[in-house]
Structures are given as C-alpha cells and as structure tokens.
A and B are shown apart, each in its own frame.
Chain A
Amino acid sequence: MAKATVKFSDIDLSVVVPVGTRIIEVSEKVGSGIVYGCRECDCGTCIMMVEEGMENLSTPSMLEDQVLRDNMAGKEFRLACQAQVLGDVTISPV
C-alpha cells in the first residue's frame, strides 16, 4: 500500500498514512489544533492551511470550492474534512 507523510506543524508531529486517508481521520487522534464543526463540507470550521504539498491533496469538489469561497479562503487553504492525502503534505490550523 502506497504511503505518504502528513506533517502537523502546530504540534511538530508527522504521521505516515496510507494514500487516500482524509486529514480528518488523523488530526484529532494526534491532537492537532485543526478543529471541526459539521464534518460534511458545509460550515467551513475545519479550514486548514496547507504549508507545503497542496498538489499532493485530492482535488476539491465544487461544494468544497464554494465553502472556501464563502469563507474568503485563499488558495493555500483546504477543508480538513474533505482533503485526501495523495503525497507528502505539511498542514496547520488557521
């Protein structure tokens, strides 16, 4: 199974995960400061900053794009409840 590394820079912790893992599946378990509300791509609470490796996350859906626009999020942000890890990334809470 292909693996990738997610680095949570706010707690200086890296987790080696199977490719396809969503950030939400990992961040709470490790105690990162990324926080969640609806957990289903509606409220925008889980907006996170992608410090490195944006290209290594799954492409955002139209709905996620809309939520990011509604929250005036720039191009370096994604929703942690939606983004799947395809390669190495470094992320942090906003």
Chain B
Amino acid sequence: MDGMPITGTQAVAIGSDVYWIGAFDPSLRSFDLILKTANGTSYNSYLVRGADGVCIVDTVKKEFQDIFFKRLESICAYDEIKYIVLNHMEPDHTGALPELLKRAPNAKVYLSFQAQGMLKGLLKEGAENLDVTAVTTGDSIDLGNRKVSFINTPFLHWPDTQCTWLEDCGMLLSGDLFGCHFCDERLFNDLVGDFRFSFEYYYAHIMRPFKHHVLQALDLIEPLDIKLIAPAHGPILREHPREYVRHYHSMSVPHLRREGEITEKTLLIFYMSAYGSTGDMAKEVLKGAEQVSGVRISLYDLEGGEMPPFVDLIEEADGLVFGSPTINGDAVKPVWDLLSSLCSIHTQGKLGAAFGSYGWTGEAVAMIEDRLRGLKFKVPVPGVKVKLIPTNEELEECRAFGRLIAENLTGTNAPRVIDFSDLL
C-alpha cells in the first residue's frame, strides 16, 4: 500500500487511529479564480478515533462528498461520530457538512469564535438547532484515551481559521496552513512528486497578506513536538514536518536586513511624469520629507521598473506616496498596475498619500487616495494637485506636503482640531 497511489474508496491510516478521508480533484486548473493549479488539488479531511467516539476534522468540497462518505463509512458508523471540528469555513472544506450533519445528527460542532457567524451563513436555518461550541487556544475535546486540542490561528487565511492538535501522536491538523494545491494520489510528502513550487506559490498567494498572523501562529506551533502535519490541501507532511514550519517562518520575515536604524521609518515615493512636472513635484516632496529626522526616503520612477520588486519594497515600507499626472481623467496605468498588485501583501495601517500635475481636470490624486483607503492605508494628509507647470510657491507646497507626511510617519506632527463641516 505504502507508495502506491490511492485509487479505492478506503480511508487511509496516517497514524494510530487517525485516518485521511479526503478527496482528490486532479482536473482543477484554477482555484478561487486567482490560483493556477497545474496538478489540481486535494480536499483533505481527517477522522480521529478515540475510546469514547469519533471526531471528524473538516469535510470536502460538495461535489466530492460521495467519495468522502465512502471513505468515512469504510472505518466508522455514523452514530459513532460525536464531534465535527471545522478548522476553516470556506466551502471547499465545509461542502459536505450539511449532509454529514444529516447522517450524524447527534454530532457536536466545534469551531472558532469567529466561525460562528460564517456557520450561520453556510447553513442558514439549518444552523438553528445545532449543538455548536466555540473554542480557542487551550480548549480541547476529550475522546477518552486522547485529547483533541485547538490552536486559534486567525487570518490564515480567513478570520475563522484554527488548527487542531493531537498531542498523543504529535499530529497537527492545520487547515489551510502548510497546505498547497498539489494533487498526487500517493498522498504523503515523501512519496509524491516535487511539490515545492506549489508550497511556495500557495504561501505567496494565500498566506503572504497575513505574514504577521503567520508569525503569531508560529509562536504557538513552533514549541509543539510535531511528528506530522496534516493540512487541508496537498501532501501530508510526515517527513521532516518541522522543515515546513521553518520555511513558513523564513518566508514571513524579510530576506535581506534593511539598512539603517531599526526605529527609522521608511517612506517610498513612486511617480510617473509625462513632461517632468509630476517628477519635479516628487523631488520636492522628497526634499520636504528629508527635513524630518528618523525617516529613510526613497524615490522611484515607475517608468523604469517592474512591479514585483516594487511590491516587495512596499510590503516592508511604513509610508507610500504616489505621484501621477491626470490623463483622460484618470491616473496613469502603471500607477494602477502597482496599486492593483498590493492585494497580495499586508497594507493595513501604512500611511499613504498622492500628488500630481494635470492639464484639465486633475482627478488622479483623489482617485489614488480612494484606492489607498480601499487598501486600508491611513490617508491623513490631503494630496497636492498642480495645474501644468508648478510655480515656486507650488513647489514649496510640495515640500510642506512631504514634511507633513514624514511628521505623520514619525508621530511628530502637531495636534490639530478641525470642525466636521470642514470635511463636507
């Protein structure tokens, strides 16, 4: 059996009284509209048997529920199921839940606090009479001879996500964490094909926007004596599981140490300029920001760069300023290309601002500010617009704008009081 592809409808033992009862989806070529899946994917579900009953951890996508139930029935009667644990509420893991609840009506559902509202959204009126318990780190279920414990790991990659931990056998049932879209019926990481690119690709698209949550989760996971990681997608990591934990850590921290003092704030100024006016404004914004100590400032002409390295820079920056001319009532495309590339990184709480020269109407600055707010930037400094060629007074305004941004970054800006009517 070991090393052979799984072709039947049997559950697969992955440890002492722990079984994989998931499904393979080899023909899938795109996941959640944003991920390419050259090898398809798998929906991993697990069954944990204890002296006092059976616990199911996650289910599968609805279209694959028949094989899920066949695998489950190969080792368990429905009246043995005492608990259903939901590590993540996304439909690829909860698709078979409504039918499972019909077949095991006495099972108690365990999920995170943040998952409760999502369960109602999934089951609608079917959620009303369920026995649901919200759990967090430190809570556990007693299966008689073993404990099923919970680790709250929110935002990996939804607010509801958690991990389940079987201390007696060192198994971490990790949900989407440590997963990847790589369908291989040989199931275990020491038997499947080379899936390293899928592991990193999955991290880059699913986990990267939540790096600081990854690090918080790793604080809880790294001390565990892990023998096996059983994620909700992709190979089960039974060989060198800690290497995958270490790799997650390395992907979540900067690769090259930033120069300068650790307390220094970083401000990046990106601009595009057709006739030099927005470029001139950018240089003055930089000069103004330089008047404030404790800020490391960089200036980039978007015309001369590719987007991915800029996204990497932005990920670590504290403040971003975007300069764009207005052409045909809009900011220019490279600016939008960059701004639309930022959903793969964490931008909440960064400081943002915009400026630019225009000929007729000057919509670009306000449009960029709106996009920055949409990305959950703070935008406390109103943008600067200049009609065509900036005058000396307008260049001074740019310097004041840069200085104010830098002061806001360092917390040295003077307190202000305004009236609500000023905002209307």
Contacts and interface: CB of A to CB of B under 8 A. Distances in A.
Interface of A: 5, 10-18, 21, 26, 28-33, 35, 42-44, 67, 69-72, 93
A70 B116 contact: yes
15 contacts: A13-B415, A15-B420, A15-B423, A18-B420, A29-B423, A31-B380, A31-B381, A32-B378, A32-B380, A33-B349, A44-B159, A67-B117, A70-B114, A71-B114, A72-B113
A55 B273 CA distance: 51
A11 B114 contact: no
A-B pairs with the 6 shortest C-beta distances? Answer: A31-B380, A31-B379, A35-B376, A11-B380, A33-B378, A17-B420
A31 B352 CA distance: 9
Contact of A28 (B116, B159, B373, B413): B373
Interface residues of B, number: 26
Contacts of A70: 113-114, 116-117, 134
A30 B418 CA distance: 10
Q: For B116, B136, B378, which residue has the most chain A Cβ atoms within 10 angstroms?
A: B378
A13 B418 contact: yes
Contacts of B159: 43-44, 71
A30 B416 CA distance: 11
B39 interface: no
A93 B349 contact: yes
A31 B376 CA distance: 10
Nearest to B370: A28
A44 B380 CA distance: 23
Given A69-B113, A70-B116, A71-B113, A13 B416 contact: yes
Interface of B: 113-114, 116-117, 134, 136, 159, 348-349, 373, 376, 378-381, 408, 411, 413-420, 423
Contacts of B419: 15-16
B415 A12 contact: yes
Given A12-B415, A70-B116, A93-B349, A31 B378 contact: yes
A30 B423 contact: yes
A10 B114 contact: no
Contacts of B411: 12
B420 A21 contact: yes
A93 B378 CA distance: 10
B416 A16 contact: no
Given A11-B408, A71-B114, 7 more contacts: A5-B417, A16-B418, A29-B423, A33-B348, A35-B348, A44-B159, A72-B136
B132 to A, nearest CB: 12
Contacts of B116: 70
B418 A42 contact: no
B380 A13 contact: yes
Contacts of A14: 415-418
A32 to B, nearest CB: 6
B388 to A, nearest CB: 27
